[in-house]
Amino acid sequence: MEQKANLSLIKTLNEIRILNLIREYGPISRSELAKRTRISKVAISDIINRLNETGFILEIGKGKSTHRGGKRPTMIKLNPENGYVLGIEIKRQFSQIAIADIEARIVDIERIEYPVGTPVGEAIDLILVAIDRVLEKLKIPTYKLISIGIAIPGFINYEKGELHFAATLHNWENQPLAARFVDKFNVPTIVENDVNAITLAESSTAVGYKHNNTVCIWIGDGLGSGIIVDGQLVRGKNGSAGEIGYLELGYFIQQQEWVKGLYCGQTYFGDILTDSNLCRALMQSCQKCPNLTGHEKPLNEYLKLADNGHKELYPVLDEYAELVAIICVHYIKSINPDMIILSGMIIDASKYLYERIYNRVDEMMKNISIQPTQITLGTLKNRACVQGSITLALQTIFEPPITHKRNRFQFVKNPL
């Protein structure tokens, strides 16, 4: 019995391995798959036949013959219309729902809004109605839905597919989340922290592609990070890995005078680096300058003023850059990633801030004999989170079951 189970696992692993190669290199021939995997051509043909029967792949015609001539190979690619996944980004006053094919191409995206404080049940009802509307519009039957990924701020109970704690979503804790979607669609539903989802998206489909060790630092109404080590997302014992917002300022800052613009009694990095605190400090800087006085502006306008050369705003942004650089250097020393990705509206909106962070990290690391880490900006912007939720959903197809178990991300209705 055990031998039979092992053979079944090997068969599954080989199929997933072949699917990933077709996904990355397709159109590709059987002989090329055999060469890349060192699996016999007969075994490759068996796998291709099984994948063809399930509709995951397409044979799309003949490729070029080799330089020695001979029979032209049949080329194989993924069948993008075989199934679809849903990616859902949930925030305190809006959600984005995207549907994508198995090649991760978004075919439609819809945004719905609701008041801050909307109960979890009511918000999910609105999301389910929106999903039905999108599927009907695209004429996609529900049986073609393979899986659902949900990205949400806070600490996740991965075993139950629920929110354990979130500062921005009050009364959502320990309420049915994944279960609501499983009950309606009967497909695997994965719940993940939103910054982890952003990290997966940037690392698997965007700027961090083919980097096995990356850190993504997200800054907005809070502060968080996602960590990829050896190609795998690091969640930690209780899913709270990367919660750098709880790093204490006092451990890193001995003299508070150099953060006098931003500091007003905060304890944690997550408090001092919020968008609201930065906006407050920049507004106060403007009040000291006759040519910048006026009504309070949105944060992105202050950032634009700095990018346009208003040096009066530089001291506050320099303080901000110094704090973010401290976090970057902390990660470089402790994890030594290939790349650090900076993400979030604040970083996206300020060229000056990014350049200051980049330069400060370089200065801080000059006398330390560690290979430099690339500091770069995320490229997915406001689609990063929903793209990450799609990446989560696709893991049910393209990641082996042993990885599913290790990462504890799959919530099913009736686990065996």
Give per-residue pLDDT as tens, 216-270: 999 988 899 999 999 889 998 778 899 999 999 987 776 777 888 999 989 999 9
> Which regions of the chain carry the CATH code 3.30.420.40?
84-192, 207-379
Spatial contact of 60 and 76, defined as CB atoms under 8 Å apart: yes
pLDDT of residue 66: 61
Query: Which CATH architecture best describes the domain 84-192?
Result: 2-Layer Sandwich (3.30)
CB atoms within 10 A of CB 201: 31
What pLDDT, on a 0 to 100 scale, did the predictor assign at position 134?
95
Q: What is the predicted pLDDT for the residue at 408?
A: 44
Could you name the CATH architecture of 207-379? 2-Layer Sandwich (3.30)
Cβ-contact 299, 346 below 8 angstroms:
yes
> Left if phi > 0, otherwise alpha if psi is -120 to 50, otherwise beta: which for 154?
left
* 375-415 per-position pLDDT tens digit: 999 999 989 999 999 999 998 888 765 444 434 444 454 44
Is residue 166 scored above 70 in pLDDT?
yes
DSSP secondary structure, 165-182, as one string:
E-SSSTT-TTS-SHHHHH
Mean pLDDT, to the nearest integer, of 196-224?
Answer: 91
Helix %, strand %, coil % of the chain (to 5): 45, 20, 35
Average pLDDT, the chain: 87
Outline where 186-298 has alpha helix (H): 194-205, 249-252, 269-272, 275-287
* Cβ partners under 8 Å of residue 7, min gap 6: none
Residue 280, pLDDT > 50, answer yes
Enumerate the β-bridge partners of residue 225: 217
- Residue 159 and residue 415 in contact, taking contact as beta carbons nearer than 8 Å: no
Residue 120: its pLDDT value, please?
93
CATH classification code of 2-78: 1.10.10.10
Regarding pTM above 0.95, the answer is: no
Separation between Cα atoms, residue 144 and residue 86, nearest integer Å: 11
**β-sheet bridge partners, residue 94:** 113
